[in-house]
Amino acid sequence: MTIELLQTHKLLDTCEAGLAERYTVHKLHEASDREALLNEIGPRIRAIAGGNVDGALMGRLPKLEIIANFGVGYDSIDTKAARERNIRVTNTPGVLDDAVAEIAMALMIGLSRQLPQADRFTREGRWEQGNYPFTTELRGKTVGILGLGRIGKEIAARAQAMKMRIVYHGRNRQPTEPHVYYDNLEEMARDSDWLVIVAPGGPETNGIVSRQVLEALGPEGRLVNVARGSLVDEQAMIELLETGGIGGAGLDVFADEPRVPERLRKLDNVVLTPHYASATRTTRDAMGALVLKNLKAHFNGDPLPSAVV
Ligand code: DGY
């Protein structure tokens, strides 16, 4: 008898093929009647692949042993409920650091050099009427990194190569890091030209980039978010972007994605991308492979390559 697995959202084709080879897969996201499917197969499910797993869903799966999240961020999984039930949770760290750091840099360069506007200017033939106005460069500016984990460190390395000064904020100072540590986020924002958010989502970080932090960043300051929309007070951010309270924002993530507020979409001092920082074929393949590896290790009784619970 093969192990029955519940898939909660669409995954990469290679990952889905790997799952189908080893497990009997039921696709919750494709079910026309979710309740009926859960009633029928819920009692037999031993594994989940994907995210968006709350306590209520876990409650429908009495034999659930493991949730293999496709992604490094696991804020869509109720880890407390999982811990209480002894359900293992895994994620996909490490393999997406470069891809996400590249998009953080792309958003910074896109904003500072006004790439979308310069592209439109060139396409629309406006160059013939005169040169594009001056933009600003990253060199010599201070970037404040919120969350100097694996991805944060890759961003720091790239920012350093762009001749920027690096400061950071997180739960703890990292003694081996040469960069200046701020234990107060608002103070770091005051000292920064750029605030780059790369800390995990979840209850501990919800709304930590508050109106006060954004005001401390100031009219010349710019925000980049490649983490989760939930970290930012999005209403305050929009107001400050509209009124010049902050200079600009490069955003890959949003509070209620895939919905993006119309007021944000109308602004010219933002660069917006569709939560695609890790979305390269190579990176997503590696994420899928790690999902499969974690599941295999669990059912073989081996240590899990990347357990969070
Ligand atoms: C992650 O891995 O958490 C990325 O945000 C993609 O979801």
pTM tops 0.90, yes or no: yes
Q: Which residue has the tokens 């009997």?
A: 24
- Please tell me what DSSP assigns to residue 298: H
Amino acid 215: pLDDT = 98
- Name which of 294, 236, 248 is nearest 113 in CA terms: 248
Dist CA 309 CA 305 (whole Å): 12
For ligand 1, atom 7, name the residue with the nearest CA.
Answer: 71
Confidence of residue 45 (pLDDT cuts 50, 70, 90): very high
Provide the residue type at 271 as one letter: V
Q: What is the CA radius of gyration of the chain?
A: 22
The pLDDT tens digits for 238-260 are 999 999 999 999 999 999 999 99
Distance from the alpha carbon of residue 279 to the mean position of ligand 1, in angstroms: 9
Q: Closest Cα to atom 1, ligand 1: which residue?
A: 71
Task: For residue 279, give the ligand 1 atom closest to its CA.
Answer: 6
**Cα 1 to ligand 1 centroid, rounded to whole Å:** 33
| Separation of CA 305 and ligand 1 centre (Å) | 18
pLDDT-derived band at 1, boundaries 50, 70, 90: confident
Active site residue 179: no
Model confidence pLDDT, tens digit, residues 64-97 = 999 999 999 999 999 999 999 999 999 999 999 9
How high does pLDDT run on average in the chain? 98
Counting from 1 in the atom list of ligand 1, the atom nearest the Cα of 91 is 2
**Tens-digit pLDDT profile for residues 155-169:** 999 999 999 999 999
Q: Give residues with Cβ within 8 angstroms of 238, minimum separation 6.
A: 261, 263, 264, 267
Question: Catalytic annotation on 257?
Answer: yes
Decide: 15 and 70 in contact? Cβ < 8 Å: yes
pLDDT at 14 over 90: yes
**What distance in Å separates the CA atoms of residue 170 and residue 149, rounded to the nearest whole number?**
9
246-284: b (≥16 Cβ within 10 Å) or e = bbbbbbbbbbeeeebeeebeeeeebbebebebbbeeebb
- Catalytic residue among 228, 234, 284, 298, which? 228
35 counts as catalytic: no
- Say how many C-beta atoms besides its own lie within 10 A of residue 219's C-beta: 11
What order of strands is seen across the sheet that includes strand 24-27? 24-27, 4-7, 45-49, 66-68, 88-90
Which residue owns the Cα nearest ligand 1 atom 3? 73
User: Residue 157 and residue 110: Cα distance in Å, rounded?
Assistant: 18
Ligand 1 atom index nearest CA of 228: 5
Centroid of ligand 1 to alpha carbon of 127 (angstroms):
39
What is the set of domains in the chain, with CATH numbers? Answer: 4-95+281-300 (3.40.50.720), 97-272 (3.40.50.720)
Closest by alpha carbon to 68, among 121, 119, 23? Answer: 23
